[in-house]
Amino acid sequence: MSAIDTAVADHGVEPDPPVTEKAVAVRWPLIARVGFRFGVIYTVLFCVMIGQVVFALVAVLDEWLPDTAPMWPLQQAAPVLEWVGRTVFGIEAVFQPNSGSGDQAAIWVMLFCIAVVAAAVTLVWSVLDRRRPAYPRLAAWFLTGLRLCLAGQMLFYGIAKAIPSQMPPPSLTTLLQPYGQLTPMSVLWLQVGSSPVYEILLGVAELTGGLLLLLPRTATLGAMLSVVSMAQVFVLNMTFDVPVKILSFHLLVFSLVLLAPQARRFADFFLLARRAEPAVQPPLFTTARANRYATWAQAAFGVWLIAGTTWIGWASWQEFGGGAPKPELYGMWEVTEFRVDGEPVPPLLTDETRWQRLVIEFEGAVTVQGMDGRLMVVPAESDPAAHTLAVVTDPGTEEPPATFSYTRPTPEHLQLEGELDGRPTRIELSAVDPGAFPLNGDGFHWVQDYPSAG
């Protein structure tokens, strides 16, 4: 007996028993060993290259990182990806850092590259380590790391919906846009954003899955909820052409991988009507005390992730969500009178110079709707102190911008007076209530004798 064990026994406390593998050595099938090696290498490479996965784990530290930090690995690999795209696939796989799309040609080429690298490393690993019968301890660490990465993504996307900023309500400009001109992705975004309660519930489901993944005891339930959530997200991305197909598919696969060790238990309970053993996570260490410390460390890391994602979600809401500050002239304005050179311009649909509406929703731009219904988003600059509004009506030409001074006789009325295309122009506008649009209709009804007509 060691000195430590003797001291513990003298105080009447039993030492922690070691956590050991089964007495009978486990040997994985060859295909399982090779598949595990490939899976580990591929997953690590994917999570590093898609920097968002790792970036979510830094939580509040992102405040001190550049905005391009998540894209840094892809940016460094861009020359290689371009070469592979031209040489292997005959395409121009140029990485577009400002695109916002996760399904760029360069990222598809990246998947091919990391699969090739993973296959090569797996071959070398399998030759050098061919006598090892199984990888129970490495599998435990791999599944734990994968679980925390998935938890970070579930929390990241969940908070963006629970504090509804990922899919905002229909913008004022969108309310004027014909439905047939919307893309499938816009339709999906509007469908979710039109019902903030629905979006919040989606976010709560993803948040719950992420929270449950943080602790070993609840990890299986968290993985089950993640499978359901990510399956829905992946199907929506595929059917509405949302350019996050690659990431959502991998997150779905990660969720299934976390459930794979419980496959026999699921079969016993759901299919074979047998008594199922408790679902437990594989231990990281060989002693119960070390595993308790590991659980506490995971809980502390979970608190870090929760605080960080909450802070990011609230900052996003304040920056570009519903909590963002609005311009002084915010609103949808209907043109009631349009005068050029002192003469009224009649509201003819064939008139290419007269405005029908003016939408002011964000700083730095306005939307002008012509008489034919065409919407033009153009740069604009307002000066609330001087009560001026400068609108670049045609950025593609050298013509001077439209420069107006404005007054507001009442909150519902706006008057612009100045020059438009070099001619004296006076425009009177009246505020339009966004709630008058059916999409922003009169809310929920328990009793409806007839459905609302489209």
pLDDT tens-digit readout, 76-113? 999 999 999 999 999 999 999 988 899 999 999 999 99
Is 327 in contact with 339 (CB distance < 8 Å)? no
pLDDT for res 37: 97
What is the mean pLDDT of the segment spanning 217-227? 95
Express each pLDDT in 9-62 by its tens digit: 444 434 444 444 443 468 999 999 999 999 999 999 999 999 889 888 887 777
Over the stretch 63-78, which tens digit does the pLDDT of each residue have?
A: 777 777 888 999 999 9
Whole-number Å distance between alpha carbons of 88 and 92: 11
- Calculate the average pLDDT of the chain: 89
Q: Residue 7: is its pLDDT beyond 60?
A: no
Q: Residue 2: pLDDT above 80?
A: no
Nearest to 382 by CA among 354, 356, 416: 416
CB-based burial, 377-411: b 16+ in 10 Å, e otherwise? eeebebeeeeeebebbbeeeeeeebbebebeeeee
Q: Which two tokens stand for residue 155?
A: 């929390």
Q: Which structural domains are found in the chain, ordered by start?
A: 30-320 (no CATH), 331-438 (2.40.128.270)
Q: What is the pLDDT of residues 171-216, one digit of tens each?
A: 999 999 999 999 999 999 999 999 999 999 999 999 999 999 999 9
Mean pLDDT throughout 124-141? 95
How far apart are the two ends of the chain, measured CA to CA in Å?
A: 81
How much is the pLDDT for 14?
40
Residues 204, 399: Cα–Cα separation, whole Å:
51
Return d(Cα 302, Cα 291) in angstroms, integer: 16
CA nearest to 229, candidates 313, 160, 149, 154: 154
pLDDT of residue 8: 35
Nearest to 122 by CA among 42, 2, 57: 42
* pTM of the shown model: 0.87
Q: Environment class of residue 108 by beta-carbon count within 10 Å: exposed (0-12), middle (13-18) or buried (19+)?
A: middle
C-alpha to C-alpha distance for 16 and 30, rounded to whole angstroms: 35
